[in-house]
Structure formats: C-alpha cells, structure tokens
Structure 1
C-alpha cells in the first residue's frame, strides 16, 4: 500500500497549545480516513522562529528550517493551523510560508484551520488564510476549521455541528483530494555523467 506524506504546520506559540491540539485532531482524523496509509510530519513553527528571522536577514535557511521547507515542498498534503491575532494569521505563520518557494504549494491539497479566543475571529480564515493559499495556487479544501476556546469539549448545535463534526468533514475532504491524486512518486536520483565521458562522446 502506498503511503501519503502529510505535513502539519502548527503556528501555536504556547506550550501546550490549542493550535497544536487542533492540528493533531485534524491529522488524526485525516489519517483514519486514509486507512492509516499516511506518514505524518509535524512542524512546530515556534521552534523555528529564530531560523526564520535569520533567513530573512541572511537569505540562507538553517538546517532545521531547510528540513521543514523540504518537508512541506515534498508533502502530498498539508494541514496549516494558525492562531488568529488582530483578525488575521500570525506573523510567524506568514513568515514561514514567505520562506517557501511560491511554486512549491501549487496544486497541493491544503486544509486550513485556526484557533482564537472568541468566535468573532472565525471569518479570518476566509478573508486572510484562504486568500494566502489561493495566491500560492494550493487546492484548499472547502471546509475551514475554526476553534474558539469554548469549542473544545462543546457539542455544538444544529447549525455548526460542533468542532468534532467540522474536523471530520474537513478531514474527509482532504483525504478525498489525496486519494484522488495518489501519493507522489519517489524522486529518482539525478544521473551525473563525468565531464571526460561527455568529451569522449563528442569526439565520436
């Protein structure tokens, strides 16, 4: 059975973090819908904050940041979760995706989610986070998941379906996109022909 590479980007700043909690629940739900055929890599942006700042100054990523960027670039799908500050994504979240090449996420399935202290910030997913990934030409799943503090442990109502219902719906949409595309084929190592052999071929 082929295995999907699923990368989870969490921009939570505290530890423990409600942002990371939401990210883990989304990843678990997606893996279940893929029948367990997924390899999950979690990127905690709080651990990369210094590397991200240095990259903007020097233009060169450190080893940890380079590994995170490569993981996102080669992922089959991405779950991106940010806390909402001042009605938008966090600066750390935006800075990380600024580091990644603009073509790296083109056509890649992405599930977006966010956390905040109040339900009033839920529309930030639609007016800030979704346009960011639309600019990067990602395929964003229809259901964006927002979790306010009161959502954790709540059952919801007939209009919202509760946080668990939103997580399940978004995970199902992401899994369907991944299953439709199939896992990316492993990259083949580049064949390097020694310069002497190239010269010999020209002389023939």
Structure 2
C-alpha cells in the first residue's frame, strides 16, 4: 500500500537543539542501539523494544523507510561531549506524519540511560515539534499528540515542560498497548 505522503516530495526537516544534534538513524547505529536497549527502564516504557543486533538493524531500517516515504521522521539525538569521549546516541525523537485529512501527528521520544537527568528529552522534543510546525505549516494545522503509558511520570513531566497538555486517559488495547495510557496535545501557540 502506498503512503499518502509518498505522492508528495518529502519535506526536509533539520532540527536545532542547542548542544544536541538530532540526525537520521543509520545502519551503523545498530550495535550501539542494542547496548542502549539493555536498560530495563527503556525496555519497560518503549514499544517494540530491541532485543538483539538483528532487531536493532530492522528497527533502524524501519526509521529509514519512514523518512524515505515521509510518514515518519525519526532522529538519533547526539549530545556534545568532551573531545575523544566518542559519540553515541543520547536519545531518540520521532514524528509520525498525519494523513492529509488528519488534524494531528504523533510524536515520541526516549532517553538513553547514560543521558538521563540532562534534559535531553525536553530539548529534543521541543526542537522536533517546533521544527515540524515550521516545516509542515503549508500542510495545514497538525497538532502534535504525545502518547505514553500511564505510570510513566517522567514522560508526563517532559510533556508538560514542552507545552503538551494532558487531555485524556486511553484504555489499554492489548497486545500493542497492554496498559492504560495518557494523551497529551500541544497546540501551535503553546510555549515550547
């Protein structure tokens, strides 16, 4: 099935987030991604966790396909580090583009264990939503929606810091969503 966005040129989105560098995921990230997903908290709160390097390679390929079709814009988030310290993703942000008739787009993110406590998620999420409002303004109003599992208090804090209001509780819908969730929404005028 052809994506509705594949019929249109893919709008390039370049994000700016201070000392963070959001960039597309590349196949060479699979090995480090496998290591990042050894973190129990990351596996608990994300959907479709990566279990091994083959799974990480498939996940990266899915992110690349989404970018090629314009359906999903996913970014590895790197953090400026001391010279010689090496670079590994500090997190991930993504935007699932809406169908043309939809008024909303879904955003998501996660932070690697080694980068928690440094505001990586709020900075990257602000850059993503601000960039999306700018890049896709010609497509009409798309309000970003952020969904996360109920009980993920860190995600509630990040959502609030980024201007996403909690608007509802979503029922569990196994197997994809085995727990209740929270729905947060950000309007274009929200402070980021």
TM-score, scaled relative to structure 2: 0.33
Instruction: With a CA cutoff of 8 Å and minimum separation of 6, indicate the structure with the bigger relative contact order.
Output: 1
| Structure having the higher Rg | 1
Give 1 or 2: higher helix fraction: 1
Give 1 or 2: higher strand fraction: 2
